[in-house]
Amino acid sequence: MSNITDLSALELRDAIAGGEVSAVEATRAYLATIERTDPQVRAFNEVLAENALAQAQAVDAARTAGEKLGPLAGVPLAVKDNLATPYGKTTCSSKILAEFRAPYAATVVEKLHAAGAVILGKTNLDEFAMGSSTENSGFEATRNPWDLSRVPGGSSGGSAAAVAARQCAAALGSDTGGSIRQPAGFCGVVGFKPTYGRVSRYGLVAYGSSLDQIGPLTRDVPDAAMLTAAIAGHDPKDSTSLPADVPDYLSEVEHPIENLRVGLPREFYSDALDAEINAAIHAAAETYRNAGADIVEVSLPHSRIDRDEQGKLSSYAVACYYIVAMAEASSNLARYDGVHYGHRTDEAVDDIIQLYSRSRAEGFGPEVKRRIMLGTYTLSAGYYDAYYNKALKVRRLIKNDFDAAFQRCDVVLCPTAPTPAFAIGEKTGDPLTMYLADIYTISVNLAGLPALSLPAGLARDGLPVGMQLIGPALGESTILRAARMYETASGTTRLKPPMLSE
């Protein structure tokens, strides 16, 4: 048989269930890959080898005893380090939580356990999920396995890189403004953000509470279906969790959609878009057309992308997103104060205020500080209406646009990012430039809709280009099926970066 680590998560699951491979073998194979490649890729904050092997052993013992195995039994996964695990640390790649050990598990982690999955370790991210390149990590920057001088995207850069470098069968990330989809696009893997509320947020360290969602990063679409089914569902611990039943995404994913209507938002295809990416998306549209789909033009006026006088990309949606996300973040991160957990300054302090201010100054990186300060400012007296409340209204306009669009199409097709992966250090000089990397992904979070990024091929320099499919609320099945249609028609799937062939 081919290399264990070349199997998709689904194939590996079946192989383990069928006794062809043991869970321990699979786990060892992945741990070996991590050991070999992570010095370059740096996807992992913490590898939980002992824990993982124990989990794998338990699966093997269960199988030997003839017990029923869970749907992910023995599948080695990586989990973004802003998801609470009851073992190891949960650091959010921040110095302020560098030693934090959670006495509880995120609901999705408990679901993975219940499904029999093996957790290999915690992956790197932009600090507190704030960023689009993983360069904001308080520890180190993860590299893109396709080109180690480039970013893997962010904030789930560690998870995306780990999947691309075949350090795990699949991974979980989180997405607030594109943080699953954009790194998936940069790393040539599939990244899926479900409908807001589809997956419980309990145990996901909050960044933008009304925007955050957890989702899978995988090598192909069926794996995404399988992982989503395992983590989705109502959770009484999350008041924003949707009560709807979870369909059997995996059994549905191979059924193409007849008379699929694919919408192309006219506002996304201005000259602001990189020519190669534009071409890739239109090629994808052709693929859909050849598969029997209708391509229709739709309009998302409030997600319009312009260039301003200085040639900088400009978008209402980006402004709206950042106001909302930063406001919520400024409040969500107030708890990191050196009192109940986390970093406390060693310096002598005069009073509690100094304790807070110094601990936070030492523990947070510059991007986190900026966002907290901006969020605090926009919520403060006199500015609430002009910024925060205004943004909440624009948010509704953005959502209304999508509602209207979905009257005319089943899925929206658009780019994942305006460029392929950029070089490390290229965009760190100016925060705004980095924010504009999110230009195609953020509307989705504002509207609370599901969206998936999958590889549309390779661009110049052999870098992956991602395409994005957006669906209506609770349209996971539609998106997965539509994505699978493209995957099977184009054969673009399970891309392998050159470094793995060396």
Q: What is the token pair recorded at 328?
A: 């919520």
Residue 71's Cβ-side half-sphere holds a number of Cα atoms within 13 Å equal to 14
CA angle 183, 250, 165 (to 5 degrees): 30
First to last CA, the chain: 20
Element containing residue 226 per DSSP (H, E)? helix 221-231
CB nearer other proteins, residue 186 or residue 356: 356
Rank residues 225 and 320 by Cβ distance to other proteins and give the closer one. 320
Minimum CB separation of residue 202 from other proteins in Å reads 5
Q: Residue 92 Cβ, how far from other proteins at the closest point, in Å?
A: 7
Beta carbons of 500 and 489 less than 8 angstroms apart: no
Shortest approach of other proteins to residue 391 CB, angstroms? 6
Looking at beta carbons only, is 124 or 490 nearer to other proteins?
Answer: 124
80 part of the active site: yes
Q: Please report the DSSP string for 243-291 in residue order.
A: -PPPP-HHHHTTSPPTT-EEEEEGGG-STTS-HHHHHHHHHHHHHHHHT
Q: What is the closest distance, in whole angstroms, from the C-beta atom of residue 54 to other proteins in the complex?
A: 21
Residue placing its CB nearer to other proteins in the complex, 239 or 501: 239
Strand partners, 498: none
Report the nearest approach of other proteins to the CB of residue 362 (Å): 9
DSSP, collapsed to helix, strand or coil, labels residue 353 as helix
Task: Find the catalytic residue in 8, 22, 80, 477.
Answer: 80
Cβ atoms of residues 489 and 283 within 8 Å: no
Block residue for tokens 């192909």: 220
Tell me the helix, strand and coil percentages in the chain, rounded to 5.
45, 15, 40
With contact defined as beta carbons under 8 Å apart, do 242 and 274 qualify? no
Measured at the alpha carbon of residue 211, what is the angle toward residues 210 and 213, in degrees to the nearest 5? 115
Integer Cα distance of 349 and 336 in angstroms: 17
Q: Alpha-carbon distance 364 to 359, whole Å? A: 9
Active-site choice (93, 132, 137, 155): 155
Catalytic-labelled residue, pool 156, 159, 179, 303? 179
Tell me if residue 118 falls in helix, strand or coil.
strand
Nearer to other proteins, 215 or 448 (CB): 448
Shortest distance, position 249 Cβ to other proteins, whole Å: 20
Comparing CB distances to other proteins, the nearer of 372 and 456 is 372
Q: Which is nearer to other proteins, 278 or 314 (CB)?
A: 314
Contact yes or no for 409/262 (Cβ under 8 A)? yes
Question: What is the smallest separation between the CB atom of 205 and other proteins, expressed in angstroms?
Answer: 4
Which residues participate in catalysis according to the annotation? 80, 155, 179
